[in-house]
Structure 1
Amino acid sequence: MNECCNVVADGEIINVPEGSRHLSMSFKTTPSSSIFQSIHQSKPNLRTLISLIDMPTVDSWQGRRLPTHLNFSAFKSLRAMSLEDIRVTTLPDSIGSLRHLRYLKLSCDELTSLPESICRLRTLQTLKLMNCSELQTLPREMSTMINLRHLDIKKCYRLREMPIRMGELTCLQTLSIFIVGPDSRRHIKELQGLDNLGGELTVKGLEHVTSSKDAKEAMLMGKKNLRTLSLDWSDSRMEEKNDKDEHQLLQFHSLKKLVIRRCPKLERLPLSASLKRLDVEYCNEMVLRSLKDLRVGRGVEIFNNLAVFTYFSMSKSQSVNRGVSAPHITSTPNN
Structure 2
Amino acid sequence: MSNLDLRPAPRRCGGEGWSPPVRELQRGRQVPLGESTMVRRLLPGLGRRMVGAWCFVDHYGPDDIAGEPGMQVPPHPHTGLQTVSWLHDGEVLHRDSLGSLQTIRPRQLGLMTSGRAIAHSEESPRDHPAVLHGAQLWVALPDAHRHTEPAWEFHAELPVIRGGNGLTATVLLGTLDTAASPGRTFSPLVGADLALRAGTDARLPAEEDFEYAALTMSGAPEVDGVPLTPGSLLYLGTGRRELPLRADTDSALMLLGGVPFEERLVMWWNFVARTAEEIADARRAWTAGERFGEVHGYSGARLAAPGLPSVPLKPRGRTRDA
More helix by share: 1
TM-score range, shorter chain: under 0.3
Return the TM-score normalized by structure 1: 0.23
More strand by share: 2
Using CA pairs below 8 Å that are at least 6 residues apart, which structure has the higher relative contact order? 2
Rg bigger for which structure? Answer: 1
